């Protein structure tokens, strides 16, 4: 399926829609989720046009992949959740309930998150 240039995260990347930026690097952007599910809830997205975790893993350059990983680590440190712990989630496609068709990793922390699934 072709990447949807009108998706909400594409609009955040273009500056059309504002967001609360936590950090960024050349290839990835981290901003706070509009509907936080934990005391700290940050989304990390590639700046390139990748629809899902599958696409990002298969098609992104190693530089882009490394930049996203490094930004996740950086966000965990600057939000001070790295020591007590946190959870990464990448909802993917229909069964994963992915709502926004631009690859994103949820970083959740700031308290006990319980088991991975209810
Ligand atoms: P999902 O695709 O289900 O993994 O989750 C998408 C997340 O994106 C959801 O937690 C809410 C968040 N979100 C949706 N629209 C916006 C927006 O305009 N700004 C921000 N900051 N977050 C958004």
Alpha-carbon distance of 12 to 7, in angstroms, equals: 9
Quickly state the pLDDT bin for 1 (edges 50, 70, 90).
low
Determine, yes or no, domain membership for 94. no
- pLDDT (average), residues 11-36: 98
Sort residue 8 into left (φ over 0), alpha (ψ -120 to 50) or beta.
alpha
Determine, yes or no, domain membership for 113. no
Determine, yes or no, domain membership for 29. yes
**Over the stretch 32-60, which tens digit does the pLDDT of each residue have?**
999 999 999 999 999 999 999 999 999 99
Determine, yes or no, domain membership for 93. no
More confident call, 109 vs 1: 109
Quickly state the pLDDT bin for 117 (edges 50, 70, 90).
confident
The CATH number covering residue 59 comes to: 3.30.428.10
Q: How many domains does the chain have?
A: 1
Determine, yes or no, domain membership for 89. no
8 alpha carbon – ligand 1 mean position (Å)? 8
Q: Is 100 in the pocket of ligand 1 (CB under 6 A)?
A: yes
- Alpha carbon of residue 9 to chain centroid: 10
**How high is the mean pLDDT of the chain?**
97
80 alpha carbon – ligand 1 mean position (Å)? 22
Which domain range does residue 72 map to? Answer: 1-81
Determine, yes or no, domain membership for 4. yes
Q: Whose CA is nearest to atom 20 of ligand 1?
A: 34
Q: Catalytic annotation on 102?
A: no
Is the whole model's pTM more than 0.75, yes or no?
Answer: yes
Determine, yes or no, domain membership for 75. yes
Determine, yes or no, domain membership for 99. no
């Amino acid at each position: 399926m072709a990447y949807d240039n009108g998706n909400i995260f594409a609009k955040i990347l273009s500056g059309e829609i504002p967001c609360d930026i936590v950090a960024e690097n050349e290839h990835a952007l981290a901003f706070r989720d509009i509907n936080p599910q934990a005391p700290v809830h940050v989304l990390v997205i590639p700046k390139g046009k990748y629809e899902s975790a599958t696409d990002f893993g298969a098609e992104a350059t190693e530089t882009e992949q490394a930049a996203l990983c490094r930004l996740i680590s950086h966000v965990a440190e600057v939000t001070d959740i790295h020591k007590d712990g946190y959870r990464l989630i990448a909802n993917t496609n229909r069964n994963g309930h992915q709502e926004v068709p631009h690859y994103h990793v949820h970083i959740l922390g700031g308290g006990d998150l319980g088991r991975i699934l209810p």
